[in-house]
Structure 1
Amino acid sequence: MFCFSFLRISLKYSIIIPTLNEEKLLPGLINQLSDPHLKEKYNYEIIISDGGSTDKTIEKVIEQSDIIKVHTAKQRQNIAQGRNEGARFANGEILIFINGDIILPGVVPFFNYLENNFTFTHYAAMTCKVKVFKEEEKISDILFHSVYNFYFYLLNLFGVGMGRGECQVIRKKYFDMVNGNNSLLTAGEDFDLFKRISRHGKILFAKDLCIYESPRRYRKIGYCGVTWLWIKNSISIIFKNKSLSKEWEQVR
């Protein structure tokens, strides 16, 4: 493992992006976040926690990132470990975990929503709606995400705790309180983390905020396949505290 940092000051937010061979999509997110005026206005840093990419992921974002941590061990790093490593170097009071294939609705509306609805409240963590990229959206995408976003909203409303790893906003004190992500989980780590945080504080589901993800996994595996993976891993975590998937397949 090696890490290099360009920043060491007290900050309000740390944006942590776990990556693995994301040279195609990561620049879209980084280009949104790297505006120096926005970074100063909202007081945030950008942390890349890379799992050992063999493409040009690091090369493409090195000038726009504040901290880059790279996994160099032979054993593959899972995404739970990647997020934990990124959090270890974070200077912010609030951790914002965003996947590398995500596009925000805009940095200003994203942070304005945080400032108005989360940052200065009692909530321990926050998640939001997820849809696929607008330019690639199909009817099946609209139907699936409408159902699942409402389902996740209900889970948080009733205190179960659920936040997809595509975007999880967590106060660092609560992240540390539960010892972060369970590094033994190869899948379902996002559900497990929010489930544990919900025992200590309330979780806000931001139904008026939406981020956008690549539909690549849905296109390759299909919605039935993805749903089955989510369900079987969630059930296994609830009853056995472990995920059934031995490895989360890369889809690039």
Structure 2
Amino acid sequence: MISIIIPARDEEKRITATVRQFEKLVIPHEIIISDDGSSDKTVEIARSLGLSVVTYAGSLHAIGRARNAGVKVSHGDALVFIDADSVIPDPQAFFSHALARFEKEPHLLALACPQLVHPDFERPTDRFVFGLDNFFNLVFNNVLHHGAGSGKCIIVRRRAFEQVGGFREDLIFREDCDFLKRISKIGRTHFDTRLTVYHSGRRLHRLGVLGFYYSWIVNGL
């Protein structure tokens, strides 16, 4: 079984569509919403959809903590972390491919996925920014054997997650790359170009290209 873990904070406008993309998924799965202290109706909506919901009442928000909390109530041998604005075009084909790789490659511990802004939201600079990010993630994983990737979608074996202790909860940025880096020290990570995930690009659009890279540099130090 796969456990699809979605960290969310104030995602009432998106959470229903994010969850419903898996309605036709026939691979055994569970969907867990790990709420990171939402002030809107995210939790209420998630529960109305019959989902397992983990809540957090604290004030120190951290997406790594939310992901870890979701894992604690999950049951799958394969853990899938996606964001609340992530869109997988064909979930059945997507996860069938990922699970087949895990079955055939025992030393493969985690898969990182290419990310693109969904065509409905795409702006002219998006392909450059995320194309560059995808290129570096491919080189780091597949050439340098140094894990890296985006939390928009990470697929990992549960045993590997547990062995490295999950995501660091003290990081507010690049916790995804740190997680995959630690995974790559105990086994293999791979950037799989067949597993493209789309998203809204909202952070880049909000900050602009210069602001996006500035926050990336400052918070990554």
TM-score band, normalised by shorter chain? over 0.9
Q: Is the 8 A contact 2:3 2:29 kept in 1?
A: yes
Report what 1:180 is aligned to: 166
Aligned pair partner of 1:132 in 109, 117, 129: 117
- How big is the shift at 1:162? 0.3
**Does residue 14 of the first structure (1) align with residue 18 of the second (2)?**
no
Q: Alignment partner of 1:208: what SS?
A: coil
CA distance in 2, matches of 1:32, 1:204: 25
Q: State the 1:119 CA deviation.
A: 4.4
The residue that corresponds to 1:239 in the other structure is none
What amino acid sits opposite 2:195 in the alignment? L
Q: 1:119 to 1:221 in 2, by over 3 A?
A: farther
Q: In structure 2, what is the Cα distance between the partners aligned to 1:120 and 1:54? A: 44
Aligned match of 1:46 in 31, 34, 48? 31
Taking the aligned partners of 1:232 and 1:114, their CA distance within structure 2 comes to 34
- Under a length normalisation based on structure 2, what TM-score does the superposition of the two structures give? 0.93
How many correspondences in the alignment? 219
Residue of structure 2 in register with 1:245 after alignment: none
Q: Normalising to structure 1: TM-score of the pair?
A: 0.82
What is the distance in 2 between the residues matched to 1:57 and 1:119?
35
For structure 2, the 5+ residue unaligned runs are none
Change beyond 3 A, Cα 1:118–1:224:
farther
Percent sequence identity is 32
- Note the C-alpha offset of 1:64: 3.0
Corresponding letter in the other structure for 2:30: E
Q: Partners of 1:52 and 1:104 in 2: how far apart? A: 25
Contact 1:118-1:126 at 8 Å conserved across structures:
no
Mapped partners of 2:30, 2:159: distance in 1 = 18
- Give yes or no for contact 1:46–1:65 (8 Å, CA) kept in 2: no
Aligned to 1:3: none
**1:219 matched to which residue of 2?**
205
Q: Structure 1: give runs of 5+ residues left out of the alignment.
A: 1-11, 237-252
What value does the CA root-mean-square deviation take over the aligned residues? 1.5
- Would the alpha carbon gap of residues 119 and 140 (structure 1) be closer, same or farther in structure 2, given more than 3 Å must change? farther
Aligned-residue offset at 1:65: 4.4
Query: Does 2:13 match 1:24?
Result: yes
Partner of 1:159: 145
For 2:63, the aligned partner's letter is I
Instruction: Say if 1:34 and 1:64, in contact at 8 Å, map to a contact too.
Output: no
Match of 1:22, as an amino acid? E
Structure 2 residue aligned with 1:110: 94
The answer for the alignment partner of 1:94 in structure 2 is: 78
C-alpha distance in structure 2 between counterparts of 1:65 and 1:107, whole Å: 20
Shift of 1:112: 2.3
Give 1:134 deviation, angstroms.
Answer: 1.2
Deviates most, 142-151 or 94-103: 142-151
Question: Helix, strand or coil for the counterpart of 2:151?
Answer: coil
Q: Secondary structure at the match of 1:96?
A: strand
Contact 1:14–1:91 (CA<8 Å) still a contact in 2? yes
Tell me if structure 1 keeps the 8 A contact 2:82–2:152.
yes
